[in-house]
Chains A and B, each alone.
Chain A
Amino acid sequence: DAMVIQNPRYQVTQFGKPVTLSCSQTLNHNVMYWYQQKSSQAPKLLFHYYDKDFNNEADTPDNFQSRRPNTSFCFLDIRSPGLGDAAMYLCATSRGQFSEQYFGPGTRLTVT
């Protein structure tokens, strides 16, 4: 089945230690998104790639970066995680910018 895959499902990192979360997709969608979701809240968009074009949300901290080496893969890098960055990180894809988005299962990040 075509899908959005996120690895790992659970990630523990130390305060200030860089961490990378991974997302891959077999849907061949040209748009990929990263969201941060804290407990009992709606997902918050961090940034998205439209093909190779990177689009950062205005309020996304500089601590968060992303890479998309090819159509199938997208990475979220957190350069110096703080305790406030503990959250579920969701990757999503869509065909085109405003069609429905398909979400991966998420990576739950714990910062110790």
Chain B
Amino acid sequence: GDSVTQMEGPVTLSEEAFLTINCTYTATGYPSLFWYVQYPGEGLQLLLKATKADDKGSNKGFEATYRKETTSFHLEKGSVQVSDSAVYFCALSKAGSARQLTFGSGTQLTVLP
């Protein structure tokens, strides 16, 4: 079945450091890929998405590129802020799949001032 594998956390960075959170997926066909962010005590917010190969999703300084050849959708940000501290979930959805969204296990990011 479809699956999403995320980089193990927690990740701790200093403010203004470069962030990469790795995400790879296993799926047949052409899934759409998403990054969701969850701040403490809150629900999930859609951060960015990509619906086809080579698409780049971007939002709030975060970027991720849909790489079909490596089945990856790594999240990057050039300079993190304390306010970026949250849990980040990579996810996929695919037409015809019984499961609407397949989530990765989540990566806790802590940014220190």
Give the contact-size bracket for chain B: 20 to 34
Set of chain B residues within 8 Å of A100, measured between Cβ atoms: 32, 34, 46, 49
Chain A interface bracket (under 10, 10 to 19, 20 to 34, 35 or more): 20 to 34
Interface-located stretch among B13-21, B68-76, B89-97: B89-97
Residues facing B in A52-94 (CB within 8 A) are 90, 92, 94
B105 & A41 in contact (Cβ 8 Å cutoff) = yes
Q: Closest A-chain residue to B93, C-beta based?
A: A98
Residues of A within 8 A of B100 (CB): 33, 45, 48, 94, 97-98, 101
Known: A42-B89, A45-B99. Contact between A98 and B42, CB under 8 A?
A: no
B26 contacts A by Cβ under 8 Å: no
B82 at the interface (CB under 8 A from A): no
Q: Are A98 and B104 in contact (CB under 8 A)?
A: no
Q: Given A41-B105, A42-B103, 8 other A-B contacts at CB below 8 A?
A: A42-B105, A43-B44, A45-B101, A98-B95, A101-B46, A103-B43, A106-B42, A106-B43
Chain A to chain B contacts (Cβ below 8 Å), 20 pairs: A41-B105, A43-B44, A43-B89, A45-B100, A45-B101, A90-B44, A92-B44, A94-B100, A98-B93, A98-B94, A99-B93, A100-B32, A101-B101, A102-B46, A103-B36, A103-B46, A104-B43, A105-B42, A105-B43, A106-B42
